[in-house]
Structures are given as structure tokens and as C-alpha cells.
A and B are shown apart, each in its own frame.
Chain A
Amino acid sequence: MNLRLGMLLFFGLALTLSYSQEYQLTFRILDGTSNLPVKDANVFIVPCSCGGVSDENGMFSINLQENGYQATISFIGYESTGITVNLNKDTLLEVKMQPKQERLSEVIVKAKKVNEMITSPQMGVLKLESQELKKIPSALGELDVLRGLTLLPGVNNTGEISNGVSVRGGSLDQNLVLYDYAPVFNPTHLFGLFSIFTPDVTSSIDLYRANIPARYGGRTSSVLDIKVKTPYADTLKLSGGIGLVSSRVNIETPLIKDKLTLVAGGRAGFTDFLLPIFSRRLENTKASFYDGTIKLLYLPTKNDQVTFTGFYTKDFYQLDLISRIENIEAENNQYDFQNLNGTLNWQHSFNEETALRTILVSGIYNADNIFPEIDSSNEIEFKSRIKHFSFISEFSKFKRDRNFDYYFGTQINRYQIDPGELNPGTATSITPIVLPQETSYELSGYANLNWEPIHFLTLSTGLRYTYYFLQGPYTQNEYDDLSGNIIGTEIFEKGEVAASYDGLEPRLGASIQLNPTISLKMSYARLNQYLQNIYNNTTPLPTSRWKTADGNILPQMSDAYGFGIYKSFNENSMEASIETYYRTSKNNLTYRPGADFFLEQFVEREIVQGPGRAYGVELSIRKPLGNVNGWLNYTWSRSQLRTESESLSGRINNNQWFNSDFDRPHTLNATLNYEADDYNTLSFNFVVQTGRPLTLANGVVELSDGIRAPIFLERNNSRLPTYHRLDMSYNIHFSKSKKNKRWQNDWTFTIYNLYGRKNPLNIFYTQRNGLENADVFLDNPLGSFELLVLNSPLFSLTYNFTFQ
């Protein structure tokens, strides 16, 4: 009875709202100088308070009732354009946008995707604009994608040192990180302090958390899609910055007028001189990092667009703190990590509504540890690498007259993993080790349809099918369930399929717009994951092992459900939303107690797979417009795991649910920007959240030689103290004070951790050393220390310039 009543109300409402005569209003947005289409331009229309974003052909269409409208078109680097139209028939408007000559780097796209929160069928997507990112106060003045994301609802990390982000309680490797379609396996510099993405060439950062579009797959938690700006340049533009930790330069220029353009950005960090300031222990430590991105745009015909993106990062550290390595006498330790990715993207437009995109991605990730021997030129090397290759072909169509768009495509991924190689060089004290290579394929087909059957209802449906197989040569063991002993071994020859899995992944989203300012959204997504990072720490290291699914390690799978209410106020000057989600997962990987993965061929012996659950509610209030703008987010969430092991040694918390490392029941973060005038901007961040789960000892025993050992029977049975931090940044822009308008510059002063909060990253036990710290340790059998990354405010000053 209730169902019938609901349907009657639903259709009644639909009939009422869809009664009036509608016409289609279409915009074609072009660069006023080059006549090239402008992608991602914002269209905001009143009085409907609606709008959207132009597609790759510069097109944007919307169905509106007969009326008079005012449209504002804006985009970063262009003057905003206003148009008045009396809509009484289907109308096409061509808008030529004029590039801005001033303040290009500091234009804040206030109207970016205005009202998209209400109208888009996509749920759970977070967008962070690079210009927004620039305003966020950051550690040591470094613009940081991942750190910026942690200020958004449902996004977290493991603290100041975190090699990635956790999205809605998922582990770090459950996020697919794409940089112009290429997967990134190690997204941070300096062991997790900064993101590796070249800041000045980043154009958009989209984080999909709920009904993930069907074109994405391979991770169970989220997709972080970072796009490099496409160089629509007709004049030379040079920009850069000099900071405490790194300096960067960026060039954007046409190479052949209207045919070939280039954007290239690079950043280099040389922090060696800073390290002794932190500690005398670091006086011989070296740490440097680089990242560079180059993107070429080639326009062979009016309907073809070819881009090539190259991305390279390198981290190199030397630490002289290692006095001994077992069986190796090394003077210091060196670490060398590199990403090298290339993306070739050809887009052919058949007409204004249809396009075919073909993408080739190839890349390699190297993570090496080097041990130079004392009194010798020999170096002992530990090497690991991942080679990946992807082919994507996607056909997309936007049907303006029928209010739907769709795309379908295919994707082939190939991963070749060299998990570890120990090369002793000329050293005779250790033997060389080479772990077998793993080669796997993911063959996927997908389709996605966005459909607006009635003007207040938008549906997004997608389906992805993936066939995964691990290709030989491969050696696979069979284990006794209880004892864990090997009871059989199967050897697969080269080319043989050692293991295979397949799965259908439906994606559903629905948006019901109750009125121009309120909408409801629902979502469901199933995702499978065949490649995982395994580690027995709170955050993976760059050298942490990546492992493909095989006969013993099963693919992870998740089912995520979401529901949200979205409301805008005062002509979109304020937005509020509440989203709730529930995600179940299975075959989550967690390490066995005491696991050691280093150069271990059969890592399945060190791993337990089990179910997981994550749920939460996210409240968000945003004020994107005005001199005072910002946001406030509060998240209540839980993230838990469980083992189902029969053997005692494989049980964690005796097979009861336990909090995952990313369980944070309460998180509140706020960002406030005060743009006093064209020259001065003051920004604040405030973060407060429940402390990370921590394992406290259940007892202490004394060994025969007098050493006291803590006894642990539970995992994550307590928490670190509440984490909170306030950051501040002040930006002074000087463009108008210069006689030469082509030269603009600004200074950014940042204080990270303004009030010097001592947030511990970890707490650990130590042996008591006589009466040392007796007033703190009291009569406890063990001592205890907290490990801090920062114990005081961190100041930085960055100079930025633009010449064009």
C-alpha cells in the first residue's frame, strides 16, 4: 500500500513538474583568439539557477522552459561573458571568450560548476580545483593534491606521513590514482610528506567515491582522477615559484600556431640544507626530489585532437645512520624511486555530438634501495618495479534532443611486476635473489548511460565487465587450512593461465531534483580489485610490495550504497549536503601478526583475507562565493575488518570485528578564505578528528636476559589522542603595482600547525633505562614515547611569478 502511494505521488509530481513547454538552449564556447573549443567552461543561468560545464567540443546544452534568461560563461584565464536570451525555440549560442591579461594565475573560479551539486546525477564526487588548492595553507608552502583532498569530507590519511589517502575508510591502495589516465603507484615525495603531481600543470582533481563511472575500475574504494591542463595557448606564458622546500617552473607556449602547443612544468626539491636544522642526526642526510610533466597538443584537423603527456618523478635519499646491515657493511643507505608514465590520447569528433577517444598508456615504477659497501665501490641493490600498459578506446555520444548521453568502451591493462631482486654486486657475503615476475591482464568492457527521462529526474547507469588472468610462468602452492603448511605445488609454464577471475560491476545513480535548489541522490556501485599493495605498517612505503591476485590471494570486491540530500541557498551562494554510505567488502587483505614481506616469494603465507564494512554520514556546508568563502565538513564514520581464520595464528582479535587503521569516528574540517581585495587573501584550515587506532599492550613479560617485552593479543584496541591543527596562509598579489603588466608576482606566507599542536604519529614502548624519565614512566614496567612529526609551527615563504 505504501509503495503504491509512493508511486502515485512520484508520477503525480513528475506530471506537474514536466507540464510546461521546454526548449533546448545550447552554447558553443570558443577561445576568442584561436577559435578552439573551450572545455570545462562554466555556464550559469538565472533565474533557473542552473547551468553546467562545456564538453570537449565546447558544447553545453540544457532544456529550459520558455522564458527570458541571463547566462554567465566563465573559465579560468578568460574574461567572464554575459548573455541574455529570450528562449521561445531551440537556440544555439556561440560564445567567444577573451583571454584575461591580468591576474591569470590568481583568478579564482568562483562560479566553477555552479549548481552542479544539485543538477549532476553523479553522487559522491569531490572536485578540487587547482586554484582552490593554491589557497589552502600547506606544509612548507608546497601545493599538495593529496593533502588538499584530506580537507574534503570522507577523505583521510594516516597523519603527517602518509603515502596516499584513505577514502571512506578504505585502505590507501584501494584508491585508483590516475594522472592523465596513467596509474600512479607511489603518489608522494619524501616518504609521504608531499604529493608528486606537478602543481602548476594540474587542471582538475576529481575524486569519485560512490557511483563510480563505468569507465573506471580496478580498485574497491575510489578513483582519484587528476588531469593535466591541455595547452590551449597562443602566447608564451612562463610561471614559477621559489619555496623553502622546492622551486618550480612552468611554460606554456604554442610551437606551431594553431597546430601544436606545449605545456611543461617541473619542480625540484633540495632539502639537504634544512635537515640539520631539524636534528644534528641529519647533518649527513641527503634528500632530493623532482617531478616534471610535459603535455603536447597537436591539432591535425578540425575534428582531431592528439595529446601526449609525459610524467617523470624521482626521489633520492641518502642516510648515513645505518651502521650495519646483516652480513653487509654499508656506510649509508640510499633510496631511489622513480615514476615514468606516458599517455597518448587521440580524440576524433565525428560531429558535435559524437566522439571516439583512443588512449595508450605506458609506464614504469622503480623502487630501489642501495647499500654502498664501506671501503669499496660496490653497491648492493634491492630493486623492484612495475611496468604497466593500457589501451582504452571509448565512443561517446551526447544526444541533445533526447536528453541523454552515453559512452561505451574497452580497456586492456597489462601489469608486469618484478617484486624484488637483490643484487649483491661483487659482495660475497650475500647471495643474489630474484623473485619471480608476475604478469597479469585485465580485459574490460564498459558502458555508461546518463538519461534525463523527465526534467527533474536524472539517471546514471553503468556496467563494467572485467576478465582478469594471471599468466605463467608461475609457481602456486596449496596450503593446509589449519597448519598453513604447504601440501602441494603447481607450476604453470610461460603463457599458461595460472589464475583467472571475472566479474560484472553494475553502477547506478539517480538524482531527483525536487526544485531548483534541492535534490536527492542515490547510488550503488560494485567494484573488483585485482592488484593490491601489501604492507604491515600503517602506511605503505615506496618499496612496499604490489601483488596481483592469484590462486591463493583472491580479488577484493566491494558493494557501496549511498544516499544524499543537496540544497543550495541564496542563488547558489551557499550549498549544503548530507551524504550517507554503507560499503561492504570481502577479501580485504591484512597482514598476519608478525608478517614480513621483504623478498618473500609466497606472501600469501603472511596475509589473511577477510570481510570489511565501512559506513558513515558526511555533512558539508560550502560557501563558494563572496569575499569570505570556504567550507565546513563533518563526518561520522566507521571502518572495520574481520578475519575468519581457523588457526589461532591467523586470527586477529580472535576473529571479532576490529577497527581498521582508517577508522575515524569523528572528523571536522573547515577552510575559510578571506579575499580582502584583488591583492590580499588570507586563508585558514582547521582540522579536528578522532585519533588513529592504536594497539596497546595487554601485558608485559620479562625474558631471561632481563628484557621486558610487551604482550599484544588485540589489534587497534585503543586510539592516539585527538588530532587537531590550525593552518594559516597569507597571499599578497602584486600584479597591478607593476608597470609591466606582463610580469606578475605574489608572495605566500604559510604557517602550518599555527598553535604548535603536538599530534603524535605513533606511540611505542621502550625498555626502562635506570631512573631516566622516572617522573613520567612512574612504576610502569616499560617506558613509552610518542613520535611526533611536528612539535611546533612550521613557517614557510613562497614566491610565485607569471610572465606572459
Chain B
Amino acid sequence: MLLIKRLFFVATALLFACTEPISPEFEFESGLIYVDAFISNIPGSSFVTVAESKFEFDFFRNEFLGNAEVLLLNTDNGLEVTFSESEESYVPPEDLTITAGESWELLITLEDGRRYKSLPEIASSPVPISEIEASYDPELEFNLDEDDFVPGHKVLITFDDPSEVDNFYFWRFRSFERLVVCERCAGGIFRDSECVSFEEYNAQNSPGVNEDGADPEYTYICERDCWRIRFNEKIEVFSDEFANGVSGNRLGVADVLLYTKNDILVEMQQYALTAEGYRYFRILKDIVDNNGNFNAPPPAALLGNMFNVDDGNEFVLGRFTIGLASTASIFIDRTAIEDEPLEQERINTESSELFFGNGLLVRSTAPCREGRFRTGTLPSGWISN
């Protein structure tokens, strides 16, 4: 319901407003501790990161604080779960199970001895998604960079809000699109699992590349089935304060922009938050999504439930959140859409003229490298045409 007010502001802004890009300014500060801790029942989505801001030589970065001791404590039964460090985050053991109603605390001891702790966080019961659908809108949202409306699908969900308790919702999604081009090399070619510049290639190979006839960019088709993963670009939260016990009826919870016209599978994750967790993510939404208009809510500090055990005056940013989730997926066929997509997928494969004397050196494919934004594993719910 909060959105009513925010949209009002947007409407105000659009009465006469225009916007122009400017170089961003900051008042960077060093030494700010940021804890991003999210524990969920969705496999692979639980993590804790601890970072400290550094501003040196006009360069700002958040330095991951490794070698910390990260512990999850069940305040009901005293169970302790130790996290292990992995790829600049701390992850729980795979067998960690969180049950609705349990109370947990997060304890972090940094390598230098500084100790941080969270207030107890109670796991709220997830509410199942009963229906999911998608609605196409050629003017889905206004894009400042494009200075125009951009097309896309609005994902709408329906769920039955339990009336006996206050419920707070938080949505994320992952989308999967079949990837055609797995690699792009600008000013070079793809060899040995990486883009190599023409100079580097010629230094190591003979016959080499005819640089005079080279194109600015070459693309490489995926060797096997591969899907691009995108994530939500906005923060979506909802409180049932004004809708307690009534159905969430076709609630728009995600904007899936038309980056390409390839078919897309959207996996919605509906998390249940505490009231404090909802407030934190609502503030986050304000400073990320709702700040660009005449009456934007002024910025607020991202203070959650973490504190320094030994220094009550230290501002500790971030939050420890438990979000148990239900999920639902929808497959969207976008082939019939006539609007232009936001990304133009230009394919330019190597030609035999690129190489001196030997067209057999031409390569046109690249592997599907697994990662956060790409997978070769068939997503659950994918429909092959």
C-alpha cells in the first residue's frame, strides 16, 4: 500500500519535470561496516557478507573481510551453525534448515577481534503463491537512460494472505533466456577460453590475423544449450497492513523488461519477512527506486539489526534477515512481440578472410560457462519449442 504514496510523487514529478544525467558526487567515508546476511530455505540463496568501506587515492571500494568467524545461533535451543568462507562470502552448511517460528541470531567475529551481533530474528511462515501470470505492456516503465518508456512484462501473482498474523512480503526473481551468443570479443578473438587481442594472437601464432580486415567485434555461438540469468532490478515489498486476510489479487511484483525477444522463464521467489525486515527493505526501495522525483523521500541510513558488541555508538550498516520463501515460475513466449527489444543481438562470426592463408583457423562457438549469470542446466519449467 505504501506504493500509493510513492506513485503520487512520481506523478508529481512528471507534471513538468525533465532530467539530465550528471557526474555523480559522493562524500565517501572509510571504515563503514556493512553486513548483508540473508538466510533462506531456497538452496544456494543463503549467505553472509561482511565488508568495510575504503576510500583511498580517490577510489572507493568495499573490502570483503575474510577470515571472520560467522556463527548462527538458534536462541530457542542453543544450536550453533558455523559458516564457511567461500568466494567472498560466508555460506552455511547445505543441511541448514530453518523452520518458521524459530529465533536466530548472527554473530560475527572479525579477524582483528571486532565483534558484531544481530538482534534475534524470527523466521516468518512463507505464504504460497496460488497463481502467477504475466501481462505485456509496451510502455512498462519509464527509463531515464532511454528517456522514454520501455516495453516488458509485468509479472502478477495471486496469494491468500493469512488473516491471523501481520504479513510482510518481499519478492525477488530470476529469469532464464536461451543464450545464442556465449562470448563477444572486441578488438580480438576467442581462443583458449578467453578473448585474445590481435597483437597477442599474432605474437604467438603463424599465420596470424589480418588486422587490417578485422571487424571491431566477433561473436561466438554457444556450443550447447545455455541460459542467461537475470535478476530483479527493483526492490518489491508489500505489507498487508491495509489488506490483512484478503487475497493478494494479481499483484504486480516484477518488471521483466524486453531486453531480447527470446522466450523467457521467470522464477518468482516470495519471501516472508518480519515487520522490522519489511521496514529495512522498504527504506532500501526508497533509496534505490523512489528517489527520482520532486517529492522523493530523503535518503535514510540503511541501519538494520546489527550492532557492535563492544561499541554501542558504531553505526553498523546492513541487516541479518531470515526469509522463508515459496516460489512459482512462468514461461513467457515473446516471439510474437513487435516492439523493438532493448538489446540488439548482433552476430558477427569470424570469417576465413580474417586469417592469413588458412581459413581452417576460423572458430564460431564458445562454451557455456556456468556462473551467477549463466547456466547450462535446463531450468525447471522451461518449455522447448
Listed in ascending order, the chain A residues whose CB lies under 8 Å from chain B are 161, 190-191, 193, 275, 278-279, 281-282, 285, 287, 317, 319, 321-327, 329, 333, 335, 369, 371, 382, 422, 428-431, 433, 536-539, 541, 543, 591, 593-596, 598-599, 648-649, 654, 695-707, 709-715, 717-718, 758, 761-767, 769, 772-773, 776-778, 780-791
**Given B23, B25, B142, B312, which contacts A696 in the complex, CB threshold below 8 Å?**
B25
Name B89's closest neighbour in chain A (CB-CB): A704
**Given A422, A538, A781, which contacts B242 in the complex, CB threshold below 8 Å?**
A422
Interfacial chain A residues near B315, Cβ < 8 Å: 648, 654, 713
Alpha-carbon distance between A191 and B19 when the two chains are bound, in angstroms: 19
Interfacial chain A residues near B26, Cβ < 8 Å: 696-700, 780
Separation in Å of the A702 CB from the closest CB of chain B?
A: 7
Residues A698 and B29 in contact in the complex (CB < 8 Å), given A704-B36, A713-B301: yes
- Which B109-158 residues sit within 8 Å CB-CB of chain A? 137, 140-146, 149, 154
Interfacial chain B residues near A769, Cβ < 8 Å: 143, 145
Separation in Å of the A110 CB from the closest CB of chain B?
A: 36
Q: Mark B275-313, 1 if CB is under 8 A from A, else 0.
A: 000010011101110011111111111110001000011
Separation in Å of the A714 CB from the closest CB of chain B?
A: 7
Residues A711 and B297 in contact in the complex (CB < 8 Å), given A322-B7, A369-B4, A696-B27: no
Q: Check if B2 sits within 8 Å of A776, measured CB to CB.
A: no
**Given B29, B146, B252, which contacts A699 in the complex, CB threshold below 8 Å?**
B29
Separation in Å of the B13 CB from the closest CB of chain A?
A: 7
Q: Check if B251 sits within 8 Å of A327, measured CB to CB.
A: yes
Residues A333 and B294 in contact in the complex (CB < 8 Å), given A327-B1, A788-B20: no
Interfacial chain B residues near A595, Cβ < 8 Å: 297, 300
Q: Check if A430 sits within 8 Å of B282, measured CB to CB.
A: no
Separation in Å of the B129 CB from the closest CB of chain A?
A: 15
Residues A699 and B20 in contact in the complex (CB < 8 Å), given A321-B11, A598-B5, A787-B294: no
- Which B298-346 residues sit within 8 Å CB-CB of chain A? 298-303, 307, 312-313, 315, 317-318
Alpha-carbon distance between A538 and B295 when the two chains are bound, in angstroms: 7
Q: Check if A709 sits within 8 Å of B284, measured CB to CB.
A: yes
Rank and list the top 8 A-B pairs by shortest CB-CB distance, nearest first: A593-B300, A784-B24, A772-B145, A712-B299, A594-B283, A594-B300, A324-B252, A705-B231
Alpha-carbon distance between A697 and B53 when the two chains are bound, in angstroms: 13
Q: Check if B27 sits within 8 Å of A433, measured CB to CB.
A: no
Q: Check if A711 sits within 8 Å of B231, measured CB to CB.
A: no
- Which B58-88 residues sit within 8 Å CB-CB of chain A? 60, 62
Alpha-carbon distance between A776 and B86 when the two chains are bound, in angstroms: 36
Q: Check if B14 sits within 8 Å of A282, measured CB to CB.
A: yes
Residues A783 and B24 in contact in the complex (CB < 8 Å), given A191-B15, A710-B287, A764-B292: yes
Q: Check if A701 sits within 8 Å of B231, measured CB to CB.
A: no
B225 within 8 Å of A (CB atoms):
no
By secondary structure, the B interface counts as mixed
Q: Check if A701 sits within 8 Å of B318, measured CB to CB.
A: yes
Which residue among B12, B149, B241 has the maximum number of chain A CB atoms within 10 Å of its CB? B12
Alpha-carbon distance between A287 and B16 when the two chains are bound, in angstroms: 12
Residues A791 and B14 in contact in the complex (CB < 8 Å), given A327-B251, A598-B5, A773-B145: no
Interfacial chain B residues near A333, Cβ < 8 Å: 7-8, 11
Interfacial chain A residues near B2, Cβ < 8 Å: 326, 596, 598
Alpha-carbon distance between A790 and B53 when the two chains are bound, in angstroms: 38
Residues A788 and B18 in contact in the complex (CB < 8 Å), given A538-B295, A541-B8, A704-B36: yes
B347 within 8 Å of A (CB atoms):
no
Interfacial chain A residues near B165, Cβ < 8 Å: none
Listed by A's residue number, 6 A-B pairs whose Cβ atoms lie within 8 Å are A191-B294, A428-B249, A593-B300, A698-B28, A715-B299, A783-B24
Separation in Å of the B55 CB from the closest CB of chain A?
A: 8
Q: Identify 5 new A-B residue pairs, CB closer than 8 A, beyond the known A596-B5, A765-B291.
A: A326-B243, A543-B8, A648-B307, A784-B21, A786-B19
B203 within 8 Å of A (CB atoms):
no
Q: Check if A791 sits within 8 Å of B20, measured CB to CB.
A: yes
By secondary structure, the A interface counts as loop
Interfacial chain B residues near A787, Cβ < 8 Å: 13, 17-19, 292-294
Interfacial chain B residues near A766, Cβ < 8 Å: 144-145, 292
Residues A335 and B231 in contact in the complex (CB < 8 Å), given A599-B1, A703-B36: no
B370 within 8 Å of A (CB atoms):
no
Q: Check if B18 sits within 8 Å of A791, measured CB to CB.
A: yes
Interfacial chain B residues near A763, Cβ < 8 Å: 22, 25
**Given A281, A594, A701, A717, which contacts B317 in the complex, CB threshold below 8 Å?**
A701
Name A596's closest neighbour in chain B (CB-CB): B2
Q: Check if B295 sits within 8 Å of A599, measured CB to CB.
A: no
Separation in Å of the A695 CB from the closest CB of chain B?
A: 5
Residues A712 and B4 in contact in the complex (CB < 8 Å), given A537-B296, A784-B25, A785-B144: no
Residues A762 and B294 in contact in the complex (CB < 8 Å), given A648-B315, A781-B60: yes
Alpha-carbon distance between A785 and B11 when the two chains are bound, in angstroms: 18
B38 within 8 Å of A (CB atoms):
yes
Q: Check if A326 sits within 8 Å of B238, measured CB to CB.
A: yes
B361 within 8 Å of A (CB atoms):
no
Name A191's closest neighbour in chain B (CB-CB): B12
Residues A430 and B143 in contact in the complex (CB < 8 Å), given A701-B34, A704-B38, A784-B21: no
Separation in Å of the A320 CB from the closest CB of chain B?
A: 9
Alpha-carbon distance between A762 and B12 when the two chains are bound, in angstroms: 13
**Given A281, A429, A695, which contacts B246 in the complex, CB threshold below 8 Å?**
A429
**Given B12, B18, B248, which contacts A541 in the complex, CB threshold below 8 Å?**
B12
Alpha-carbon distance between A541 and B7 when the two chains are bound, in angstroms: 13
**Given B10, B21, B301, B313, which contacts A321 in the complex, CB threshold below 8 Å?**
B10
Q: Check if A327 sits within 8 Å of B249, measured CB to CB.
A: yes
Separation in Å of the A279 CB from the closest CB of chain B?
A: 7
Alpha-carbon distance between A468 and B365 when the two chains are bound, in angstroms: 80
Alpha-carbon distance between A285 and B303 when the two chains are bound, in angstroms: 39
Q: Check if A699 sits within 8 Å of B142, measured CB to CB.
A: no
Residues A704 and B47 in contact in the complex (CB < 8 Å), given A323-B140, A326-B251, A430-B1: yes
Q: Check if A278 sits within 8 Å of B16, measured CB to CB.
A: yes
Interfacial chain B residues near A369, Cβ < 8 Å: 4, 8
Q: Check if B299 sits within 8 Å of A697, measured CB to CB.
A: yes
Interfacial chain B residues near A539, Cβ < 8 Å: 294-295
Interfacial chain A residues near B25, Cβ < 8 Å: 696, 718, 763, 784
Separation in Å of the B127 CB from the closest CB of chain A?
A: 14
Separation in Å of the A490 CB from the closest CB of chain B?
A: 23
